[in-house]
Amino acid sequence: MTELTALTLTDAVEGLRTKRFSAEEITRAHLEAMEGARTLNAFTVETPDRALEMARASDARIARGEGGPLEGAPLGVKDLFSTEGVETTAGSRILQGFKPPYESTVTANLWRDGAVMLGKLNMDEFAMGSSNETSAWGPVANPWRSRGSNASLTPGGSSGGSASAVAADLCLGATASDTGGSIRQPAAFTGTVGIKPTYGRCSRWGMVAFASSLDQAGPITRSVSDAALMLRSMSGHDPKDSTSLPVETPDFTQFVGRDVRGLRVGVPREYRVDGMPAEIEQLWEQGVAWLRDAGCEIVEVSLPHTRYALPAYYIVAPAEASSNLARYDGMRFGYRAGGGTLTEVYENTRAEGFGDEVKRRILIGTYVLSAGFYDAYYLRALKVRRRIADDFDRAWETCDALLTPSTPTAAFALGDKDADPVTMYLNDVFTVPANLAGLPGISVPAGLDANGLPLGLQLVGRALDEGTLFSLAGALEQAAAFRAKPERWWS
């Protein structure tokens, strides 16, 4: 039998249901793998006691024939999902020691369906970053390394812990979140599948907020079917989040493996960016060929406002962040610094509690929202955002989904881009438009570059049409037949 930790989520759930192994066994196998992989720094908190308790409860339910759709499956949780009684810091010192008295809706949905929590996963501080290097708890290592090199690479960010843990077989799947690419970019960097669903598909209740009009939860997994299975459990209307959509959750798993003949796939001409490595370009063309061979009709489309997406995102996201992060004053959550007066306590707490990137965003956000600059920056960015959404609406007249690279490069070295924030922001060029427009996007591993590092292709779809994305992603997955695994240098 395949090692229990190397199973897909789908196969593991089936093996549990048919009692080929117990939830306790598969949970112990994962806890052991986590222990052996601490050099990756993927987990910020391990919860072995809770995991075993949940696993035993799963085994009892399976014995009674009552298991849920994820019964007994060990998962990791990005550390911005509040977990009752378990430290939740969102990668920030300012939340150090914060144990939420409530459970986020997304994680509650997973536990309702029988999943087992292994622990909390490292991430960029407040999800601000593309390399996991802004985490107060140190960077995460990508299990993948360039051929012939021992240099540590980033797993991407902000869901770096989630991606690294899934790629290194430390959990069967992980929750993640995506404000500007934080599910899809780390998935691309680690050879895993990541989907950011339509804005409003998953409840944001109990998620530590970064930019509320962009934040969306989704899974990182090792296969497209796994992503469909996990997203189905995570999704659903929640009256506690006013932006949660009052719609039924389709059975996403039914879409994987469906015939894609006749679907029209758009190739946006503006996504050919300067300086993009030839390998990414080639992979993209390969992706087009795969979908054409599968019977899709390929159409060229134009998204003329694409080049304004990054600048608009880096105004809207910091603006919302500066407002959301105002609540961290040392009074209610986590860390509190000393000081002679109340104002000093506030100031010291924020000065010591936030890292540099978070401070940069608060400064930018406060600036673009200030009386003299609101119209010139924030309001204008909102208008650009509307235009970007209009571009997509126009594209849907001639196609059913778009195919693009997930990222402009493969995983880069730790320390490579942290000197210049703008170089780091350029990583998000292909992913932010979907956030600005609220559309679903999925990254599928599609090949390896010349250094043996994974590369991903992205599909973007109409609002609430994750089904079509799952069908197309399934076709890509089948054609790409990506089976490569990183060498286990960490254990």
Phi, psi (rounded to 5 degrees) for 418: -80, -5
- Is 182 annotated in the active site? yes
Q: Smallest gap, in angstroms, from Cβ of residue 175 to ligand GLN?
A: 13
Give Cα separations from 36 to 33, 99, 138, 168, 185 (angstroms): 5, 26, 18, 11, 26
Q: Smallest gap, in angstroms, from Cβ of residue 181 to ligand GLN?
A: 5
Which of 9, 23, 51, 128 lies at the binding interface for ligand GLN (CB under 6 A)? 128
Q: Does 317 bind ligand GLN (CB under 6 A)?
A: yes
How many residues lie near ligand GLN (CB under 6 A)? 13
Q: Does 129 bind ligand GLN (CB under 6 A)?
A: yes
- Is 19 annotated in the active site? no
Q: Does 181 bind ligand GLN (CB under 6 A)?
A: yes
Q: Does 178 bind ligand GLN (CB under 6 A)?
A: yes
Q: Which residues, 6+ apart, have CB-to-CB distance to 38 below 8 Å?
A: none
Q: Does 180 bind ligand GLN (CB under 6 A)?
A: yes
Closer residue to ligand GLN (CB): 141 or 315: 315
Q: Which of residues 151-170 bind ligand GLN (CB under 6 A)?
A: 158
Q: Smallest gap, in angstroms, from Cβ of residue 156 to ligand GLN?
A: 9
Q: Could you give the angle at the alpha carbon of 42 between the alpha carbons of 36 and 45, nearest 5°? A: 90
Marked catalytic residue, from 135, 182, 223, 225: 182
Backbone φ/ψ region at 262: left (φ over 0), alpha (ψ -120 to 50), beta? left
Inter-residue contact 92 to 355 (CB < 8 Å): yes
Q: Smallest gap, in angstroms, from Cβ of residue 183 to ligand GLN?
A: 7
Q: Smallest gap, in angstroms, from Cβ of residue 157 to ligand GLN?
A: 6
Q: Smallest gap, in angstroms, from Cβ of residue 416 to ligand GLN?
A: 15
What span, in angstroms and rounded, lies between the C-alpha atoms of 102 and 9? 27
Closer residue to ligand GLN (CB): 73 or 317: 317
Inter-residue contact 125 to 387 (CB < 8 Å): no
Q: Does 219 bind ligand GLN (CB under 6 A)?
A: no
Across the beta sheet with 297-301, what order do the strands follow?
43-46, 116-121, 74-78, 173-178, 216-221, 193-196, 441-448, 454-461, 401-405, 264-268, 297-301
Mask for 373-412, x = binds ligand GLN (CB under 6 A)? ----------------------------------------
Q: How many CB atoms lie within 10 A of CB 317?
A: 27
Closer residue to ligand GLN (CB): 141 or 317: 317
Give Cα separations from 369 to 211, 283, 364, 379, 385 (angstroms): 14, 41, 9, 9, 16
Q: Which residues of 340-374 are buried (b: 16+ CB within 10 A; e: fewer)?
A: eeeeebbebbbeebbbebbeebbebbbbbbeeeee
Q: Which of residues 197-216 bind ligand GLN (CB under 6 A)?
A: 210
Closer residue to ligand GLN (CB): 34 or 424: 424
> Which tokens is 375 given?
């119209």
Marked catalytic residue, from 22, 158, 235, 244: 158
Q: Which residues, 6+ apart, have CB-to-CB distance to 396 below 8 Å?
A: 462
Q: Smallest gap, in angstroms, from Cβ of residue 428 to ligand GLN?
A: 5
What span, in angstroms and rounded, lies between the C-alpha atoms of 146 and 368? 40
- Is 99 annotated in the active site? no
Q: Does 179 bind ligand GLN (CB under 6 A)?
A: yes
Q: Does 127 bind ligand GLN (CB under 6 A)?
A: yes
> Which residues are the active-site residues?
78, 158, 182
- Footprint of ligand GLN (CB under 6 A): 127-130, 158, 178-182, 210, 317, 428
